[in-house]
Structure 1
Amino acid sequence: MTTAAIVKDLRTDTPGCENKIHLNNAGAGLMTSPVLHVMKAHLDLEAQIGGYEAAAHRRDEIRNAYQMVGQLLTCSPENIAFTNNATDAYARALSCIGFKSGDIILTTNNDYVSNQIAFLSFRKRFGIEIVRIPDVETGGVDVDKAWELMKSLHPKLVAVTHMPTNSGLIQPIEEIGKHCQQLDILYLVDACQTVGQLNINVQKIGCDFLSATCRKFLRGPRGAGFLYVSDKVLQGDYEPLFIDMRGAQWEEKDKYIAHKNATRFEDWEFSYALILGSGAAVKYALSLDLNWIEERIRFLSDYAREELRKLDRIQLLDKGADLGGIVTINTPTIPAGQLKALLDKNNINTSLSHRSSAVIDFDEKGVDWALRISPHYYNTVDEIDQCIATLLQPDL
């Protein structure tokens, strides 16, 4: 099939394409019909026979959701924990590390705001130190500096966001992972924006934890995420701070035993409709060629940048040698709200990021906001052109 024919079929599976030009996949991708069907069917079943009974009835499908995510990340389903969202997954990973005063978290300048706030909270509560690896001049983390800092500082944790929420930058997480493995340093990767967009292989990355959401480029439901946990962590004494009866067995009055697999990081109470929807979303992604997905998103994003770069009124903000599916712009002479309102009026979904979401990056770029244009494989060149044409309207 031609790309045009494939995209046509994908759009048929995407009801939201009928009414909107959806270029806000970095916020939440449009769900597919199969995802909606699975979730609605389970909710109907819960209403008919009861929530506990419906989960028991769908036991095999629920187990299959773990297998789907394991296949997506190239790991065992035993290494997967489902969570409420990517930030929840990230927090559970952080909480299992026994930080004490003077310990170092080595991180980057391009990170998700909630991660940075969590680090600052740990500094306030436990007295840890936060060290940020410098960027290279062209944008993105300096891997050589990272190696030097790992050797000299011996950090407790290296934490890197694969793609920040405020930029199309793709960080070299595999190179950093090799250094972490050489020095046996715990490595946490935030893949919130890249799972479903890029072909992710946790074995190649060499990470101990990887957090992700289902609502973005995986096109799954909101309120669902997952955490990959390495065998090294599962075989060690690591467990989340607020472990519950899903993650451990209460053996005696003053004794519990944590489970050996990643369910150690889960809560007992789940929305199983969301887990089933997440499994369906991953299955849908796997039914396509993951490399094709990556190439398609890169093509549309590169096309958008190329066309936007031609416009005098637009400041293209993305920096880095490797850029993906978030295109960020600023318009120095046009207020953010006015720009977003015009796109909304023309049924074009985008989103705004403000300085509070990217203090380091935006201060370095000299802006206090960015408009995010984030295409997915079901978008078309014509939709990108319509978005750009709207940005060129004379009344702006």
Structure 2
Amino acid sequence: MDINKIRKDTRGLEDGKIFLNNAGSSLMPDLVTDAMIDYLKSEEYSGGYHIANVNADILEEFYDETAKLINAKADNIAFATSATEAYAKALSSIVFKEGDVIITTADDYISNQITFISLHKKLGVKVMRMKNLPDCELDLEDLEHLIKIYHPKLLAVTHIPTNSGLIQNVEAVGKICKKHDILYLVDACQSVGQMVVDVEKIGCDFLTATGRKFLRGPRGTGFLYVSDRILEQEYAPLLLDMRGANWTEYDDYKLFTTAKRFEHWEISYASMLGLKHAIRYANEVGMEPVEKYNRNLSQKLRNNLKDSGFDVWDLGNRLSSIVTFSGPDGDLENIQKVLKENNVYFSVAYKNSALIDFTNKNINGIVRLSPHYFNTIEEIERVSEILERSLK
């Protein structure tokens, strides 16, 4: 992995900032924005229909690159405008009825939790959350217990929560889902792009991801993975359009065979092209070296913060490139002030975005730093020194 080339490929680093908000919205490689601008200029002169037809083969490469990234087939991939849209379409393809049960975790993403509560309010679906062990790992024995009692229709797990560095054991959950023949939905919004994600090893029926975070793609992009068994059983989003089915009779249609049935016909092809280039860039760098490099950066940052006296809130046996912390008295304001003054990019999360986790930790919020493979160890040391001085 040539970090010097990677940094040269990223114009956003030229102004001297230290960018550590990749779990929010990362910096795109130059080729991503250049490709999107060129495509939009072509639309300006020739119209969107013509340019889409001319570039049909190039646009189709999006599905191949995405499949390569997560060890799937192109037919299993659908483009989405966000991970949330992909998640909602996957859920809408499941016919829930009153009394059906969804099992999830205490650490699942806020939007997912709200969606589950909405299903409960509108359809009478019950939402259960499996327990965590003392080390914050998922209690798989409790999961088996819940399955035997409630016979859930769906198990939903966020691979890496947005509010901590925890990596949840999605592969172990996948084995349990297979054993009991339960539908399995994985939110990989924070894991795709920062580490190896293999849908075959996970064993999921659906997997959702965004473009803007660790994949370094544009906002307004994402994708949905749909397994072969789901496609073969003719699952499809509740609200289809002509991208998903062929109108065969006055009152009937025939589903298309691939995961594209989860798309809508109107797509920003400039955005799809940008995401394709971002994913191809990630594939060329390689997720194995990226994961290893990111692990070293985040471990170094966590250790430095702990040594300086900060409270680090990332708990679990496997931790990701999301580092969450606060001052020794719970302070967030001074940390934000110091980071802004030194041109360090970060984000903050408050209790309402991780209600269960932050209640259990007895905290009101955290500062989040999320290094990525274009960051250097020197940047990590510099940020650590800046923060250490702020405590004196």
Q: Which residue of 1 aligns with 2:340?
A: 344
Q: 1:381 to 1:242 in 2, by over 3 A?
A: same
1:257-284 CA distance string (max 9 Å, x none)? 2211111100111110110011101100
Percent identity, aligned pairs only, is 46
Q: Is the 8 A contact 2:100 2:125 kept in 1?
A: yes
1:50-73 CA distance string (max 9 Å, x none)? 111111111111100110001111
Distance 2:302 2:85 in 1: 33
CA deviation after TM superposition for structure 1 residue 341, in Å: 2.8
2:121 matches 1:117: no
Q: Is the 8 A contact 2:335 2:390 kept in 1?
A: no
Distance 1:355 1:194 in 2: 22
Q: Is the 8 A contact 1:251 1:257 kept in 2?
A: yes
Q: Which residue of 2 aligns with 1:244?
A: 241
CA deviation after TM superposition for structure 1 residue 387, in Å: 1.4
Q: Which residue of 2 aligns with 1:228?
A: 225
CA deviation after TM superposition for structure 1 residue 394, in Å: 4.3
Distance 1:39 1:135 in 2: 43
- In the TM superposition, what are the counterparts of 1:179-258 in structure 2 within 5 Å? 179-258=176-255
- Partner AA of 2:6 in structure 1: L
Partner of residue 103 from structure 1, selected from 97, 100, 106: 100
Q: Which residue of 2 aligns with 1:333?
A: 329
1:106-155 CA distance string (max 9 Å, x none)? 00011110000000000000111111000010112112222232233210
Q: Is the 8 A contact 1:110 1:140 kept in 2?
A: no
- Partner AA of 1:52 in structure 2: Y
Deviates more, 1:247-256 or 1:24-33: 247-256
Q: Which residue of 1 aligns with 2:23?
A: 26
CA deviation after TM superposition for structure 1 residue 336, in Å: 2.4
Q: Which residue of 1 aligns with 2:351?
A: 355
Distance 2:142 2:55 in 1: 49
Q: With structure 1 as the length reference, what TM-score do the two structures score?
A: 0.96
CA deviation after TM superposition for structure 1 residue 342, in Å: 2.2
2:167 matches 1:170: yes
Deviates more, 1:55-64 or 1:140-149: 140-149
CA deviation after TM superposition for structure 1 residue 335, in Å: 4.1
Partner of residue 79 from structure 1, selected from 76, 81, 86: 76
Q: 1:252 to 1:144 in 2, by over 3 A?
A: same
- Structure 1 spans left out of the alignment, 5+ residues: none
Matched position secondary structure for 2:308: coil
Matched position secondary structure for 1:393: helix
- Partner AA of 1:36 in structure 2: T
Q: With structure 2 as the length reference, what TM-score do the two structures score?
A: 0.97
- Structure 2 spans left out of the alignment, 5+ residues: none
2:85 matches 1:69: no
1:160-215 CA distance string (max 9 Å, x none)? 00000001100110111011011110000000000011111111111000000011
Distance 2:147 2:391 in 1: 52
2:372 matches 1:369: no
Partner of residue 146 from structure 1, selected from 132, 143, 148: 143
- Partner AA of 1:151 in structure 2: K
CA deviation after TM superposition for structure 1 residue 334, in Å: 6.3
Superposition RMSD in Å: 1.3
